[in-house]
Amino acid sequence: MGPYLERFEKAIAQQCGTRYAIAVSSGTAALHLVIRGLGLGAGDEVITTPFSFVASSNVLLYENVHVRFIDIDPSTYHLNPARAEQAITPATRALLGVDIFGLPADWPAFTQVANTHDLFLIDDACHALGAEIAGQPIGNWGDAAAFGFYPNKQMTLGEGGCITTNSKDLAMLARSLRNQGRTMDRRMEHTQLGYNYRLNELSAALGCAQIERLGTLLRQRRKVAACYNEALDDLREDILLPVSLSHATRSWFVYVIQLRDHYTLGARDLLMQRLRKQGIECAPYFPSIHLQPYYRQRFGFKPGDFPVCEAVSARTLAVPFYGTLPHEDVIHVAKTLKKELISLPKIDSTVSFNM
């Protein structure tokens, strides 16, 4: 809670073009304080995506908010604004979108929906520091955005997070809540139930250094992504590469490919096993949130509830990706993928299912 924290917050606010930034201990903490700060609670409903890291939904459960999942767009992996609007009920209080893998969601369209129906608009921007859409930085859309600085992010503090907002009231409340509900002018007076969500001064100092080189970090990641795009271009009949949007700038978080649907379900998992045996780390990005054991047990979700999300989840994987990944390693991954794709099980198109 010292001078480096204040300096870091000013730098984040400047990066996102917002009036306020409130640094906290993690991206999850940032998103939780947004939910709490907007007054969302029992009886409220928030429309969000089942294709994300589980924290984007867990924070709603922390405040007993009803999670309303809507299936995703098969090409961008985002919520579709029109489908989200159709799902609005009298209990809906907010839309929570995720800039999945660093690709901005359709915030101009979501803004129109939120304004039309008088809803809060929340951006889980933990994947997307440095991205923009329609000429406006991610972090400056809706009522608030949340960023995370976990080690796999574009910019890391070891751990940490930040809220960006143009709301003075939300900023003041978040600053109190992160510090056990203390008032700003009296050190030991606690006026509300708060949390130990403070960002330590050492991490804030690291953040000050990191954000000065954010442009370099983002350029390095763009270069590695471009190498992957070129190296995997001749595999497009077998895999889908990350999409781009003409009106948006992606901030590369991970590089995720998707097996096309002529491969059998389970082929992705077999591919990951083979890659790992050859020393190439990979991961399923992301498992469907509604099919996580806790969500199935508590809410009764089952396979088939959100078929697009489930199909994407079953066929996507993240390959090795970081800003200084050598070009020869990208080529090695591409060659290994090409070799392994040949022998992956495919659906027999000659089989007829007519009775």
204-230 pLDDT per residue, tens: 999 999 999 999 999 999 999 999 999
d(CA 314, CA 284): 8
Average pLDDT, the chain: 95
**Domain span(s) for CATH 3.90.1150.10 in the chain:** 215-342
Residue 130: φ, ψ to 5°: 95, -5
For position 348, what pLDDT does the model report? 72
Is pLDDT at 298 greater than 70 in this prediction? yes
Distance separating alpha carbons of residues 21 and 12, to the nearest angstrom: 6
Question: Confidence band (pLDDT; 50, 70, 90) for 354?
Answer: very low
Could you give the percent of the chain with pLDDT greater than 70? Answer: 97
- The whole-angstrom separation of Cα 10 and Cα 111 is 25
Tokens of 138: 């991610």
- 28 near 55, Cβ under 8 Å? yes
Superfamily of domain 215-342: Aspartate Aminotransferase, domain 1 (3.90.1150.10)
Q: pLDDT tens digit string along 41-70?
A: 999 999 999 999 999 999 999 999 999 999
**Domain limits, CATH 3.40.640.10, in the chain:** 3-213
Domain 3-213 fold: Aspartate Aminotransferase; domain 2 (3.40.640)
Instruction: Please report which confidence band the pLDDT of residue 183 belongs to, taking 50, 70 and 90 as the band edges.
Output: confident
231 band by pLDDT with thresholds 50, 70 and 90? very high
